Structure 1
Amino acid sequence: MKSRKPCNRGIGPAFDVIGGKWKAAILWELHAQPRRFGELRRLLPEIGEKTLILQLRELEADGIVHREVFHEVPPRVEYSQTKLGATLHAALGPLADWGDRHARRVATARRQAEAAA
């Protein structure tokens, strides 16, 4: 029997989509309502403009985010969650809960590991 690598199933493909520092945060902000690029920049002030553009493009390519261009003057673009994105958002909820419950414990463990090194 051929062994399967864990990265080829379940968690691997999921992290391929949400991997990186910002994709989950972007998805979280798009959950409530569609957002314009400038709104996302204000909601996520730590992310650089180039990085935000790249992350949005990747999420769009994966079918998680929809980009709609309104042909107006001036042009307007809105980003929203797709149905697939909504299912990913629902899957991130328990992960966010885990982070809320264990953030202090993880931070303490990291400090202890750094001090021991």
Structure 2
Amino acid sequence: MAATSGGPTSLVGKTFDCMFGPFVPRLTVLSPTELHVRATIGATQIDEVVKSDLTGVRPDLFIMSWTEQSGNFVVQVQDHENKVVHNYARLADGQLFCAQGVIQPVPGA
């Protein structure tokens, strides 16, 4: 099993990119309730620490949600064993952003 196989605390201190084509947010799990989000969307830069909810479903499978300062609400299903992430976001302007991508661990970040 991967290094993230335990409960939510097994992700603490881990940094990974969620690769959705040209959109690649970088997430660092600071605690089971705090997340550092970094991303570039066009000319908009996101670099903020947000409150998050992190739930372990089974080894290496997590559900994570957070609200960004802009009002974007994001829910992700993260399968670290298979390196797959499903993203469901309600953007502040009401649009939906749903995507499937690849989880890429960032060692030593």
Q: TM-score, normalised by structure 1?
A: 0.20
TM-score (norm 2): 0.21
More strand by share: 2
Q: Which has the larger radius of gyration?
A: 1
* Structure with the higher fraction of residues in helix conformation: 1
